[in-house]
């Protein structure tokens, strides 16, 4: 069996950097999709791939390969702990390891996260891996239909990620490929843009592996390119006339995999006819957001938010305090005209503060002024308030000369007299 391969990757049309990382050498094939702030995603995917490859060289036993993933996980985890700007970074990883037996190679596929492995066998495209995503878990639990899963807003929430916690175990699958088969490893930048029929038609095009990988990436970018897109195609050679059709030989292998990586917490799920409760929820790992993997990251985010909130409140309190301290109004104290600092009736927790009482009785003023003063007449400064009272005193003088009942006339006379 002649094994050939090809790969392609593209940053896409939206992202500024390519956080996917791949490796191929004819025996080991790896795709990783990194995520995390700053350049954490790029660091995580590269570290994970290199960490895995360095430990997996020459190995084809499940135990060694699984511990290679665990070792890669440690590499990323420690790097994230050692560098503040990389804290919380993580990555998916999907790997195919092909044995050296040229007549009947054996392939082990390992995965963590939602980067996928597929096999095309007898014109049928089968997803080898299971997505370690919140939606994937719901799908397998029968709580979500495939149609709902495709459009779910939670489909980017991963439940297992390389580099986020100290311990990690990948899922593992063993496959006995036949001539004519193709294995595809790809990041979600491919599968979010291309439906299965489109992927199979490219894998059945008869082109060489490199061209197929390039076509998958090109079409994903063309279809939207919302994410980095990476594809690795392994071609197990054309089926000869002597190769009779045979069922796909693929099985999950290895040790038991814990289904719950983190303590479950109640999570409300939309698109759900009946809410998940108790045992149902307990079986499903708590989702981790792609951009927010660690508790440390969450705490930092919350602290940053609280600091920003405190700043906004501080600025608000400062502004209101200044506003209130700089405000005066003319009001009444014990039936005398007085100047208050603050706002009439008070503002929030600031009660008006009596500054001075003037020798002017309310009863000496026309009644229209009296009711206005009782509710408070705002003035921009203490001087303006004093001026207002001087005017009132002049009014009171006029009022006492003319007598009550002719307020309007009095006012008009005073105004024109002052002018």
> How many residues lie near Mn ion (CB under 5 A)?
5
Applying CB under 5 A, does 214 fall inside the site for Mn ion?
A: no
Query: Shortest distance, CB of residue 34 to Mn ion, whole angstroms?
Result: 9
Q: In the complex with Mn ion, which residue's Cβ is closer, 97 or 186?
A: 186
Instruction: Please give the Cα distance from 321 to 343 (Å, whole number).
Output: 11
Q: Restricting to residues 142-201, which ones interact with Mn ion according to CB under 5 A?
A: 187-189
By CB under 5 A, is residue 33 in contact with Mn ion?
A: yes
Between CA 383 and CA 272 the distance in angstroms is 67
Pick 105 or 189: Cβ nearer Mn ion: 189
Among 227, 235, 364, 379, binds Mn ion (CB under 5 A): 227
Nearest distance from C-beta of residue 99 to Mn ion, angstroms: 29
**Cα dihedral: 50, 52, 53, 57 (round 10):** 150
Stretch that binds Mn ion, among 74-82, 127-135, 219-227, 399-407 (CB under 5 A): 219-227
Minimum distance of Mn ion from residue 219's CB (angstroms): 16
Q: Can residue 131 be called a binding residue for Mn ion (CB under 5 A)?
A: no
- DSSP per-residue letters across 359-411: EEEGGGS-HHHHHHHHH-EEESSHHHHHHHHHHHHHHHHHHHHH-TT-HHHHH
Does 215 participate in binding Mn ion (rule CB under 5 A)?
no
Using CA atoms, how far apart are residues 5 and 104, in angstroms rounded to an integer? 17
**Distance between CA atoms of 365 and 369, rounded to whole angstroms?**
6
Site string for Mn ion, 301-320 (x = CB under 5 A): --------------------
57-83 burial, b at 16+ Cβ within 10 Å, e below that, comes to eeebebeebbbbbbbbbbbbbebbeee
Closest distance between Mn ion and the C-beta of residue 95, in Å? Answer: 17
Report in angstroms how near the CB of residue 43 gets to Mn ion at its nearest: 15
Alpha helices in 264-294 (DSSP H): 278-282
Report the interface residues with Mn ion, using CB under 5 A: 33, 187-189, 227
């Amino acid at each position: 069996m002649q094994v050939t391969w090809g790969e392609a990757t593209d940053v896409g049309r939206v992202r500024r950097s390519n956080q996917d990382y791949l490796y191929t050498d004819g025996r080991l094939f790896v795709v990783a999709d990194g995520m995390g702030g700053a350049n954490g995603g790029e660091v995580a995917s590269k570290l994970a791939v290199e960490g895995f490859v360095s430990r997996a060289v020459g190995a084809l036993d499940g135990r060694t390969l699984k511990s290679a993933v665990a070792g890669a996980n440690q590499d990323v985890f420690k790097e994230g702990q050692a560098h503040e700007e990389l804290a919380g970074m993580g990555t998916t990883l999907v790997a195919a390891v092909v044995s050296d037996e040229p007549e009947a190679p054996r392939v082990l596929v390992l995965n963590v996260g939602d980067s996928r492995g597929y096999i095309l066998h007898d014109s049928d495209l089968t997803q080898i891996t299971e997505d370690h995503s919140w939606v994937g878990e719901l799908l397998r639990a029968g709580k979500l239909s495939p149609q709902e899963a495709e459009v779910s807003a939670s489909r980017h929430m991963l439940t297992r990620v390389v580099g986020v916690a100290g311990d990690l175990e990948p899922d593992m699958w063993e496959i006995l490929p036949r001539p004519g088969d193709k294995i595809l490893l790809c990041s979600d930048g491919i599968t979010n843009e291309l439906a299965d029929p489109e992927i199979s038609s490219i894998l059945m095009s008869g082109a060489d592996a490199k061209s197929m990988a390039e076509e998958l990436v090109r079409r994903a970018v063309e279809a939207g390119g919302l994410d980095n897109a990476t594809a690795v195609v392994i071609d197990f050679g054309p089926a000869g006339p002597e190769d009779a059709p045979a069922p796909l030989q693929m099985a999950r292998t290895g040790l038991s995999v814990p289904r719950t990586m983190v303590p479950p917490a109640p999570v409300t799920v939309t698109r759900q006819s009946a809410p998940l409760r108790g045992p149902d929820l307990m079986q499903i790992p708590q989702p981790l957001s792609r951009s927010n993997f660690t508790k440390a990251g969450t705490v930092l985010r919350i602290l940053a938010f609280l600091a920003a909130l405190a700043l906004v409140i501080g600025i608000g309190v400062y502004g209101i305090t200044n506003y209130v301290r700089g405000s005066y109004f003319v009001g009444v104290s014990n039936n005398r005209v007085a100047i208050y600092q603050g706002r009439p009736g008070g503002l929030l927790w600031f009660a008006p503060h009596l500054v001075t009482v003037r020798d002017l009785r309310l009863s000496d003023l026309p009644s229209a002024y009296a009711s206005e003063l009782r509710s408070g007449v705002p003035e921009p400064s203490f001087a303006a308030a004093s001026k207002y009272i001087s005017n009132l005193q002049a009014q009171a003088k006029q009022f006492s000369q003319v007598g009550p009942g002719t307020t309007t006339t009095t006012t008009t006379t005073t105004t024109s007299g002052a002018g």
